[in-house]
Amino acid sequence: MTRVFLIPLALLSACRESETGCGAEDYADLVGRPVAAITLPADLPHRVVGPDDMVTMDHRPDRLNIRTDADGTIVALDCG
């Protein structure tokens, strides 16, 4: 009997991001702060994504995604 194991795509992309990465873990202390009150390096590729924002589906491992709630508070950071 052959067994097939399915790995969720999110896990595969997380592995790939950790190899190249955007440095999201370096900015983890920003979670919980208002996005309007932060300053990032000018050469850091990033985008701010609100709960109802539409975003392009292009994947850029070096880009930091800053996810906010409706009030503009940073709730998560990830690469892509």
pLDDT in tens, 55-79: 999 999 999 999 999 999 999 999 9
Can you list the domains of the chain with their CATH numbers?
22-79 (3.30.10.10)
**Residue ranges of the alpha helices (H) in 1-80?**
9-19
The amino acid at residue 59 is: H
| Of 8-17, 40-49, 63-72, minimum mean pLDDT range | 8-17
Residue with tokens 């070096």: 62
∠ CA 37-43-51 to the nearest 5 degrees? 45
Going by C-alpha positions, the residue among 18, 39, 43, 22 that lies closest to residue 30 is 39
Of the two residues 34 and 9, the one the predictor is more confident about is: 34
Residue type, 74: I
